[in-house]
Structure 1
Amino acid sequence: MTTDAAAAFAAAFGDTPDGVWAAPGRINLIGEHTDYNEGYVLPAALPHATRVAARRRPDGVVRLYSAQGDGQVTSVVLDGRAPGSVPGWAAYPAGVFWALAEAGHAVGGADLAFSSDVPTGAGLSSSAALECATAIALDELYGLGLDAPGRALIAQRAENAFVGVPCGALDQMASSCCVEGHAFFLDTRTLIGRQVPLDLPAVGLTLLVVDTRVKHDLGDGAYAGLRAGCERAAELLGVPALRDVAAEELAAAEEKLPADLRPLLRHVVTEDQRVLDTVAALDAGDPRALGPILTAGHASLRDDYRISCPETDLAVATANAAGALGARMMGGGFGGSVLALVDSDRLEAVESAVHAAFAEAGYGAPHTFTATPAQGAHRVG
């Protein structure tokens, strides 16, 4: 893939880049829709990554090319570019330039060619990978001296303010900060995190990802509506964010909210507890305990947050029936991927059962692969 990015650069710009950088997609073990509620998350980076071959330009012009795109180079003059002014995929890297300039960093133009094997619209953070690859490339090209969390926050700012998706910090922090062989336990309020060892093959377990191939668009308003509902609930409860409602206070807090906001509160409070329970299980050397936690998380996303869909529900139910220890949907919702914890000797049976169930239901074939925790954003060439 490094070669692919460099080859894409040569095809688009007819020369060699100054370097090649990569930023991964991610899975999220547990902690969905908790990040914008200042709660806890537990992601891990995927081997799937977006790679960017990049070269500085002295004229303030940004030229963007994707090997997976339409074969056209998108040129952006940065001066005067306003949020929402760059259409399509190019808005994500263009937004990083904008966010760096807004933060006072001296960044000029650049030629960037991207190549990615992160599935798009699958809840695996393809947009964050695109942003974080751009951020680390510009950081090193222009000697900005940012650390990994700093680059992640620039990338998040790009997606929030330039692209217009009000996401929390989960995806960008995962893409920037994860370490190979570990999950990243992050408090999204303090942005303090620690690496939690995650060597499941050593204990005969495998993480199976089922990409349902049902695409979602988090810019369509549904995600923003959920976030607004959580913020309204926090306001009515008189707390800074829903993470400030303790599990033992949940029942009393629900009574203070209108009926439509109670399920949102219930999901956030119980999901934060599921993250803490998962970390405790991993610290105690009991990864099999994750199975029921994953399944409970899916039920909460399905019944309280109401962001699952028939395909993700079918994948979860089928995986569990075929012997998975637990499974849940990942990502913003309305499609995307499912994560299942499987005994390694049951992996083939679970995969086969999911494919058969999709065929019987008349759905398109899902894409399945195993997830091994990988390295966050780094230079590769």
Structure 2
Amino acid sequence: MTGPAAQAAAVRREFERIHGRAPDGVWAAPGRVNLIGEHTDYNDGFALPMALPQTTVLAAGRREDGLLRLHSAQGDGRITELAVADLAPGPVSGWARYPAGVVWALRERGLPVGGADVHLDSTGLSSSAALECAVAVAYDELYALRLTRPELARVAQYAENAFAGVPCGVMDQMASVCCVEGSALHLDSRSLDVRQVPFDLTGHGLRLLVLDTRVAHDLADGAYAALRAGCERAAGLLGLTALRDLSEAELPGALADLPDDLAPLVRHVVTENARVGRAVERLSAGEPESLGPLLTAGHASLRDDYRVSCPETDLAVEAAVAAGALGARMTGGGFGGSVIALVPAAAAASVARAVTDAFAAAGFGTPAVLEAVPSAGARRIG
């Protein structure tokens, strides 16, 4: 993988070729992997994500005619041209709805933003949050908005919720704009307070593998929305603002009062919030190797209570742990996607091979394997 300077230079050159002028700057925003704390953010809960070195890189130049002209290196080669004043949820489709949604969301806040020429490229990443956050930090500079990092995350989340139609929480966007190199981000999704928690993998002889099952999932298909609605319904029945307000000690009594379809959702959210707290304690004590059992327990909860796993992610977890991983779990919204595995550095290759062999034996496609390294959040790189 090339460094930020080389990425910035390459994207700048492409911007000049496509748009016929130099950009005002180049920005990058990372994807994330979540160590623990899944489906907790829209319940006002806690999470522990970290930024990845893989980023969406964006070159942009301000326009004074109110046009937003979007081009992606991963697109069909055409420029999508939109009038900023006419942006509204619905008409814009495909990848363009994410950057367009951010500009729309800024205008919805009453901020004085106009057009821009944009060229986007991805360094091996497919992340709507990274795309949104790259646009948000670029527009913050182009139009001197001076928004805080949590405000930029909220803008990006609103774009995904109201413009792209995905009812996600704020964790992905907060991770993309707030993470720092060498740390995981302890996020309170209610207050948006964050704490950087040191996560020194190399110093403890560890690696964190991301095992991409290559099973596609579309969170806009209704399953995600149904889960969120179920949690909100359960909170209402319990007289709570959000499930975050239910403690582990109160959980048994609450479960007895809930219908059978909602109790497992509540059990997952409450126990997952507790796992986040324990993970932060262990990292703060300098014991990252002790995260393993928490990861595996989190996967069991997502599989059995939240029911967002699938055969491929279950197999990846089982094969990784059997081959020597300290712990593993699915990460992300579910219904496919990736698994993370915390492994001793010496076992990384054999764990990756074991998962690949298990997939072949099951007739699944070959998973992709990459190493997750705690990296920096969104920033200007050129």
Looking at structure 2, the residues matched to 306 and 115 of structure 1 have their Cα atoms a distance apart, in angstroms, of 34
Residues 1-381 of structure 1: pairs in structure 2 closer than 5 A = 1-120=7-126, 126-381=127-382
Looking at structure 2, the residues matched to 285 and 368 of structure 1 have their Cα atoms a distance apart, in angstroms, of 26
3-state SS in 2 of match to 1:247: coil
Looking at structure 2, the residues matched to 14 and 361 of structure 1 have their Cα atoms a distance apart, in angstroms, of 51
Unaligned runs of 5+ in 1: 121-125
Q: Aligned-pair RMSD on alpha carbons?
A: 0.9
3-state SS in 2 of match to 1:30: coil
Looking at structure 2, the residues matched to 318 and 7 of structure 1 have their Cα atoms a distance apart, in angstroms, of 44
Task: Name the counterpart of 2:4.
Answer: none
TM-score by length of 1: 0.97
3-state SS in 1 of match to 2:332: coil
Runs of 4+ in 1 over 6 A off after TM superposition: none
Looking at structure 2, the residues matched to 213 and 326 of structure 1 have their Cα atoms a distance apart, in angstroms, of 21
Work out the number of aligned pairs and report it.
376
Looking at structure 2, the residues matched to 118 and 82 of structure 1 have their Cα atoms a distance apart, in angstroms, of 30
Using the TM superposition, give the Cα deviation of residue 221 of structure 1 relative to its aligned residue in structure 2, in angstroms. 0.7
Kept in 2, the 8 Å contact 1:5–1:67? The answer is: no
Using the TM superposition, give the Cα deviation of residue 2 of structure 1 relative to its aligned residue in structure 2, in angstroms. 2.1
Looking at structure 2, the residues matched to 112 and 82 of structure 1 have their Cα atoms a distance apart, in angstroms, of 19
Q: Which amino acid aligns with 2:317?
A: V
Q: Which amino acid aligns with 1:96?
A: V
Kept in 2, the 8 Å contact 1:129–1:172? The answer is: yes
Q: Which amino acid aligns with 2:116?
A: A
Using the TM superposition, give the Cα deviation of residue 193 of structure 1 relative to its aligned residue in structure 2, in angstroms. 1.0
3-state SS in 2 of match to 1:46: strand
Task: Name the counterpart of 1:123.
Answer: none
3-state SS in 1 of match to 2:50: strand
Using the TM superposition, give the Cα deviation of residue 11 of structure 1 relative to its aligned residue in structure 2, in angstroms. 3.3
TM-score by length of 2: 0.97
Looking at structure 1, the residues matched to 122 and 287 of structure 2 have their Cα atoms a distance apart, in angstroms, of 35
